[in-house]
Amino acid sequence: MPLSPTATRELLTRLGHQPKRFLGQNFLVDGNIVRKSLDLAGVRSGDTVVEVGPGLGTLTSALLEAGAGVWAVEKDTTLAVHLRHTLAVQYPETLHLMEGDAVEEPLAGLPSQLAPGGKIVANLPYAISTPWMDAVLSGPLPARMVLMLQLEAAQRYAAPPGTKTFGAISIFLQAAYDIAPGHRVAGACFHPRPDVDSCLLQLVRKSDPFVFLPATKQLIRACFQQRRKQLGALLRNRLPDGGAVWLAVLARAGLSAKTRPEAVPVALWKLLQAPA
């Protein structure tokens, strides 16, 4: 079970640790949300699960108790030491703890051959949500992800075309994963209480996931950095043919060169190819 807010404060005091806002250290204190996370991920004994920012180990211990092998990456040295002296001692065979940056190690050191059968269950700090997801989508794709996200990040991930929050990360993610409707999580479920609500999001890898090549991802990002411009102008100097081939594809779908990036659906972005 998660620590209560009082027990969380007491443990943090014993560790001499002040939660760091820049690391998104809001510790989960609601057991229902922990159970919901495991249920959405379908965690079973023998599963391989990646966790980002295990913190005090609330979610980690639940995963380990369920019989999962957990690969966790924690950036905060104080918390990493705490986990090494507690959960790592209790679960020496199934907890693989790494101290490091999750953007640089998005799968916490999980061997690449295990990633396609693995899952990610994590309380993801807002500051790294986009670069971390971009890194995950650049490697072997886990089968399922259940992520606790700040509501704004969850809305970007799940945004449909034609909305202001639809962007490059929406395209990259939705090309590879089906996104279930999110479960809103109140600030009271965390200590310290964040100023905004969060969202528990379930992502399931598609049967035919699409992964964009690095050059194409760079081009798509460039388009959304000037999202109010029309695609004809955006591509004119960025592709050898000025974007003529892809713009012809858009025309057949009823979209002109005056279309703005946010209006193009994911299926058509998948047909864009940038030179390597």
pLDDT of residue 4: 76
CA distance linking residue 170 with residue 164, whole number of Å? 11
Write the DSSP assignment of 231-274 as a string of letters: HHHHHTTTSTTTTHHHHHHHHHTT--TT--GGGS-HHHHTT---
CA distance linking residue 28 with residue 34, whole number of Å? 8
pLDDT of residue 8: 85
Instruction: Go through the domains of the chain in sequence order and give each one's CATH number.
Output: 5-205 (3.40.50.150), 214-269 (1.10.8)
- Which tokens sit at 178? 């089906």
Weakly modelled stretches of the chain, pLDDT under 70: 1-2
The string of pLDDT tens digits covering residues 224-266 is 999 999 999 999 999 999 999 999 999 999 999 999 999 999 9
